[in-house]
Amino acid sequence: MTGILDKFHVEHGGHGTRVLARSSQMTGDCLTAEEIDAAIDMLKSDLDACRREMKHLLELNRRGSLFEGWPSPRDIVDA
The pLDDT value recorded for residue 59 is: 86
Inside any domain, residue 49: yes
Residue-wise pLDDT for 60-72, tens only, equals 878 765 565 666 6
State phi, psi for 59 to the nearest 5 degrees: -65, -40
Q: What is the average pLDDT across 16-37?
A: 92
56 found inside a domain: yes
Cβ atoms of residues 61 and 76 within 8 Å: no
Structural domain range at position 15:
8-64
For residue 10, count other CB atoms closer than 10 A to its CB: 19
Helix (H) or strand (E) holding 6: none
- Rounded CA gap, 75 and 65, in Å? 10
**Angle at the Cα of 66 from the Cα atoms of 61 and 58, rounded to 5 degrees:** 15
**Is residue 69 included in any domain, yes or no?**
no
